[in-house]
Chains A and B, each alone.
Chain A
């Protein structure tokens, strides 16, 4: 089944460390997104990319960066993690009208 692959599934990270969350799609759709979901809350958009080579800021971009070197990969980087970035991170891609989400990366910053 076509979809989104995220890695790692979970990670405990020391504050101040750098971390890259990986996201890969297998349908070569143009638009991809990164969301974070804090416990008991809805998803908030961090960054997005409408096509390879372009990126944009979402609702909560501070402390995060993304790149889109090719169509399939959309990594999210935390340059210097802080405890407030403890969250579940979801990557998504947009097909014709329908968005497909990955299973998420549970990140704990201690």
Chain B
């Protein structure tokens, strides 16, 4: 399982883009990069995942570095409902969570 490093916290204003970084320098060639988020008092929920190519879905975009040692989760227009702890996880077999990044969104 890859060790991931994320900033403890980030802030954003509503309607602005947010770039959440993650370093996973020990990731293996076959491990997927997963992003989950946890809203207050809820279980984690899936955001996005990818292997090598950049990925987009209705929630976010995932930009993966060419060497796969880092990735960035992009929220294109932050809303108050995006305030959560975001977890970057690098493995395929099972999810091992780190401490994540707590995102605060201000009106």
Contact = CB atoms under 8 A, between A and B. Distances in A.
B21 interface: no
Interface in B22-77: 32, 34, 36, 42-46, 49
Nearest to B46: A98
Chain A interface size, as a band, is 20 to 34
Contacts of B46: 98-100
Q: Is the interface of B mostly helix, strand, loop or mixed?
A: loop
A33 B94 contact: yes
Nearest to A4: B43
Contact of B95 (A41, A92, A102): A92
A57 B103 CA distance: 31
Contacts of A45: 94-97
Interface string A42-69: 1111001000000000110000000000
B7 interface: no
